[in-house]
Amino acid sequence: MLRFLLNRLGQSVVLLLIVTVITFFLINLAPGGPASTMRMEASPEERQAMIEKLGLDQPIYVRYIDWITHAVQGDLGISFTSSEPVIQRISERLPYTIELTVFTIVISVIVGILLGVLSAIKRGKAQDHIINFMSVIGLSVPAFWLGLMLILLFSITLGWLPSSGVGSRGADFDLWGWISHLILPVLILTTTVLPNIVRFTRSSMLEVISQNYIRTVRAKGAKESIVLYVHALRNALIPVVTIIGVLIPRLLSGAVITEAIFGWTGIGTLIIEAARGRDYPLVMGVTVMITIVVVVCNLFVDLVYSRIDPRVKNV
């Protein structure tokens, strides 16, 4: 296990280095820059002074070496737009995105596995067709359109749920206010993850229940619930756990659109803010943070995978 963890740690460091190199060079070579966001009447001298103040007059490789030197020491730089440390800005927004991600993953996994198993054991029946139809709809409908329609229905027409914001926090925390602000964003993000888990669970269960050892268990007189949820489901979950690790980056990217629609002050809106302001340090900081989150989640998925399937040895 220790050897496996050290090996994955080395791979993660290399991956992180590659991602930072690509991101840094792409954003710095793109047209425009922080000076382009200055007021229209700013003189060329003022723009040049800003470029020199931010160190953007240095060669790009010199800037990257300077950035990576500070990054390994835990300093991701100062935001151009707010003059605050990048780590501080990320730490303020990250908890809100974690809320959406955790609720979305938990709901998608529980509901997706249950629906996938039901669809498999009811193959060819009405329940199977309905679940498959809803999965296709979930995969096909754009998140931004669905989000706007849900706001129009539940917030404007019915007035049941708030259309934006994160709810009361701190001393003014209100449980229902917090939950009501979560419902619509989590629902939208769930539509991007749940259908995939349902379809993978269904196909995996269909493959497993056709195996000879399942027929043997049934021949021994075991209850159908024991056959499905003890013998079949554990093996069927192996590819499902794998796809969850793949869906996490998709979930984070989907949070950008969802947070923008619902005014959710998380990492998604921070990414948009950084891109609009040509805030290079903030873009790099968010990129590093997302990469680390994805690497950690994939490592966790690998560990869970090894626990589900005893044949996998992480040594």
- Which CATH number does the domain housing residue 274 bear? 1.10.3720.10
Domain boundary among 15, 40, 72: 72
pLDDT at position 107 is 92
Residue closest to 113 by CA, chosen among 22, 34, 193, 24: 193
**CB 166, CB 179: distance < 8 Å:** no
Residue 314's CB is within 10 A of a number of other CB atoms, namely 14
Q: How far from 313 is each of 1, 2, 3, 151, 227, CA to CA, in Å? A: 8, 12, 11, 48, 26
Please count the structural domains in the chain.
2
Residues 34 and 136 in one domain: no
88 in a structural domain: no
31 and 163 inside one domain: no
Q: What's the distance, CA 297 to chain centroid?
A: 10
Q: What is the pLDDT along the chain (315 residues), one digit of tens a residue?
A: 677 677 777 888 888 889 888 888 888 777 666 555 555 555 666 666 766 666 667 778 888 888 888 888 888 888 877 888 889 888 888 888 888 888 998 999 899 999 998 998 888 899 989 999 998 888 888 888 888 899 999 989 888 888 887 777 767 777 888 888 889 999 998 988 889 899 888 998 888 888 888 888 888 887 877 888 777 887 888 788 878 877 777 777 667 888 888 888 888 888 888 878 778 888 888 888 888 888 887 777 777 777 766 665 544
Confidence at residue 244, expressed as pLDDT on a 0 to 100 scale: 80
In this prediction the pTM is 0.79
Residue 147: give the domain boundaries.
Answer: 93-308
34 and 63 share a domain? Answer: yes
Query: Which conformational region is residue 206 in: left (phi greater than 0), alpha (psi within -120 to 50 degrees), or beta?
Result: alpha
DSSP letters spanning 191-251: HHHHHHHHHHHHHHHHHHTTSHHHHHHHHTT--HHHIIIIIIHHHHHHHHHHHHHHHHHHH
Q: Are residues 98 and 63 in the same domain?
A: no
Same domain, 225 and 301: yes
Q: Do 277 and 162 belong together in one domain?
A: yes
pLDDT of residue 309: 66
Quote the CA–CA distance of 35 and 51 in Å, as a whole number.
7
- Looking at the structure, tell me whether residues 38 and 99 fall in a common domain: no
The reply to whether 67 and 102 lie within a common domain is: no
Residues 207 and 278 in one domain: yes
Cβ neighbors of 65 (< 8 A, separation 6 or more) are none
d(CA 66, CA 273): 24
Can you give the pLDDT at residue 33?
A: 60
Q: Are residues 197 and 298 in the same domain?
A: yes
Whether 8 and 132 share a structural domain: no
